Amino acid sequence: MKAVTWQGRRDVRVEEVPDPRIEEPTDAVVRITSTGLCGSDLHLYEVLTAFMTPGDILGHEPMGIVEEVGAGVPDLSAGDRVVVPFQIACGGCWMCLNALPTQCETTQVTGEGMGAALFGYTRLYGAVPGGQAEYLRVPQAQFGPIKVPEGPPDDRFVYLSDVLPTAWQAVAYADVPPGGTLAVLGLGPIGDMACRIARVRGAERVFGVDLVPERLRRAKARGVETYDLRDYADEKELVAAIRDETDGRGPDAVVDAVGTEAHGSAAARLAQQAASLLPRKLGAPFAERFSVDRLAALYTAIDLVRRGGTLSLVGVYGGMADPLPMLTMFDKQLQIRMGQANVRRWSDEILPYLTDEDPLGVDDFATHRLPLDEAPRAYEMFQHKSDGAVKVLMTP
Ligand code: NAD
Ligand code: ZN
Ligand code: ZN
């Protein structure tokens, strides 16, 4: 089959690889019909190279048709239409039963000291072959795949794999009080969807920050009060402008949907580049001990949120030696919640929103749909945010 493989820094290629097959009774094999490209894939593309191996199959936002199931998967059969969550979880361990499938004790990557295995996401997360491919082997298929109805196009459901539960969890963790205010930093697919969900779920005002004009326009068209980072001399000015709109206090909660590749962190950018250019043998131990994130967005979030407010970090961070302003965080009495999204924790709550009325605007959420063969161009375009690319889906 054809699959998108990681080959090196900023180098992905579509290659012929062996077809996946059932290896465990709890496996399924799914023929992929749509597969998303995510901000998290961009981290692998350029920053987390120390944890990748040439030939790794990328992708964690797939849906398709079940081709074959093992004997331990009673609720799925060939022909079912399913969305595959980005994390692999068993559904029966203590963590899964406590609504934390990202920490599944059956699939935890204990050798690396990490949580549940993820599709297509570095050896830290199990180096499991991903879903930007014609076929995908789905381990723990007795729990993961979400059955969806026939009829509507894939666009209606594909975001259940990641974007929707991730944005949903970001908003749930932000815990905006009734009539309260929320700021969302970063208006990529995750931040954009978090704004939509916050509006649908009753946040009184949503402020959105980014520096890419079409991303700001998209959010504004849906009632978000947008702020273009480039209009402000520095972070302090931006924070002051939003504070002015919230009785001088700052919003009740801030979602950081930017993560480790934030614009405006020049020194950390250099450190990340240096680490990603080291030979892999040196790069990985270095990254495991000394890596730092580009923290511009997180610093803004800490400054911006009102005293006693909540930070919901959904953008991925990976630093092991990040300097944080603990004095401010402690003094402001912040609550901070973060992590990978627990997909099955939220998917049943989200499904009722995926209707013909389309309150979250999923049907035209993707800006680009390309054949899988054009994955190298898709990655480049999404990284450079060129050609108006916000969300890219690929068709195998
Ligand atoms: P993206 O890269 O398209 O979005 C990031 C956005 O942040 C961009 O629009 C960029 O212009 C903007 N930005 C950069 N620096 C900024 C700054 N200083 N202030 C404000 N905005 C800034 O990616 P995405 O797909 O929307 O993903 C966003 C983040 O969420 C990534 O870190 C991704 O890894 C993470 N993510 C997390 C989970 C999870 O389960 N927690 C799941 C999916 C994605
Ligand atoms: Zn993703
Ligand atoms: Zn489990």
**What was the pLDDT predicted at 266?**
79
Q: Determine if ligand 1 sits within 6 Å of the CB of residue 262.
A: yes
**What was the pLDDT predicted at 99?**
98
Q: Work out the percent of the chain whose per-residue pLDDT is above 70.
A: 99
Question: Do 95 and 179 fall within a single domain?
Answer: no
Ligand positioned closest to the Cα atom of 158: 2
Question: Do 74 and 203 fall within a single domain?
Answer: no
Q: Determine if ligand 1 sits within 6 Å of the CB of residue 396.
A: no
Q: Determine if ligand 1 sits within 6 Å of the CB of residue 48.
A: no
Number of domains forming the structure of the chain: 2
**What was the pLDDT predicted at 48?**
87
Is residue 378 predicted with pLDDT exceeding 90? yes
Cβ atoms of residues 389 and 379 within 8 Å: no
Q: CATH no. for residue 230? A: 3.40.50.720
For 24-66, how does the pLDDT look when each residue is reduced to its tens digit (9 = 90+)? 999 999 999 999 999 999 999 988 888 999 999 999 999 999 9
Cβ atoms of residues 320 and 290 within 8 Å: yes
- What residue spans of the chain are helical by DSSP H? 39-46, 94-97, 163-174, 189-200, 213-220, 235-244, 266-277, 280-290, 296-304, 326-331, 343-350, 375-384
Host domain of residue 175: 164-338
Question: Do 177 and 151 fall within a single domain?
Answer: no
Ligand positioned closest to the Cα atom of 97: 3
For 245-272, how does the pLDDT look when each residue is reduced to its tens digit (9 = 90+)? 999 999 999 999 999 888 987 778 887 8
Q: Give distance in angstroms: CA of 90 to centre of ligand 1.
A: 28
Q: State which of 293, 313, 338 marks the end of a domain.
A: 338
For 144-155, how does the pLDDT look when each residue is reduced to its tens digit (9 = 90+)? 999 999 999 999
- Give the closest residue (by CA) to ligand 1 atom 4: 188
Q: Give distance in angstroms: CA of 89 to centre of ligand 3.
A: 5
Q: State which of 299, 322, 338 marks the end of a domain.
A: 338
Question: Do 290 and 383 fall within a single domain?
Answer: no
Which of 43, 125, 210 gets mutated to test ligand 1 (max ligand atoms within 8 A of its CB)? 210
**What was the pLDDT predicted at 292?**
83
Is residue 194 predicted with pLDDT exceeding 80? yes
Looking from the CA of residue 211, the nearest atom of ligand 1 is 11
**What was the pLDDT predicted at 291?**
81
Question: Do 76 and 176 fall within a single domain?
Answer: no
- 71: CB partners within 8 A, 6+ apart: 25
Work out whether strand 225-228 and strand 335-338 pair parallel, antiparallel, or are unpaired: unpaired
Q: Work out the percent of the chain whose per-residue pLDDT is above 90.
A: 87
Residue 201 CB neighbours (<10 A): 12
Crossing angle of helices 296-304 and 235-244, rounded to 10°:
30
Q: What is the mean pLDDT of residues 90-116?
A: 97
**What was the pLDDT predicted at 50?**
86
Looking from the CA of residue 265, the nearest atom of ligand 1 is 18
Question: Do 118 and 192 fall within a single domain?
Answer: no
Q: What is the mean pLDDT of residues 85-92?
A: 98
Question: Do 379 and 324 fall within a single domain?
Answer: no
Question: Do 353 and 287 fall within a single domain?
Answer: no
Ligand positioned closest to the Cα atom of 186: 1
- Computed over every residue of the chain, the mean pLDDT equals 95
Is residue 74 predicted with pLDDT exceeding 80? yes
Question: Do 106 and 227 fall within a single domain?
Answer: no
Question: Do 203 and 302 fall within a single domain?
Answer: yes
For 278-327, how does the pLDDT look when each residue is reduced to its tens digit (9 = 90+)? 776 777 777 777 788 899 999 999 999 999 999 999 999 988 889 999 99
State the Rg of the chain over Cα.
Answer: 20
Q: Determine if ligand 1 sits within 6 Å of the CB of residue 187.
A: yes
Q: Tell me how far apart the alpha carbons of residues 296 and 258 are, in angstroms, rounded to a whole number.
A: 9
Q: Tell me how far apart the alpha carbons of residues 20 and 159 are, in angstroms, rounded to a whole number.
A: 23
Q: Tell me how far apart the alpha carbons of residues 308 and 332 are, in angstroms, rounded to a whole number.
A: 6
- 161: CB partners within 8 A, 6+ apart: 36, 60, 61, 62, 63, 83, 84, 85, 86, 131, 343
Q: CATH no. for residue 14? A: 3.90.180.10
Q: State which of 338, 362, 380 marks the end of a domain.
A: 338
**What was the pLDDT predicted at 265?**
76
Q: Determine if ligand 1 sits within 6 Å of the CB of residue 350.
A: no
Burial of 325 (0-12, 13-18, 19+ CB in 10 A): middle
pTM, rounded to two decimals: 0.97
Question: Do 327 and 366 fall within a single domain?
Answer: no
For 119-136, how does the pLDDT look when each residue is reduced to its tens digit (9 = 90+)? 999 899 999 999 999 999
Question: Do 266 and 380 fall within a single domain?
Answer: no
Q: Tell me how far apart the alpha carbons of residues 313 and 174 are, in angstroms, rounded to a whole number.
A: 9
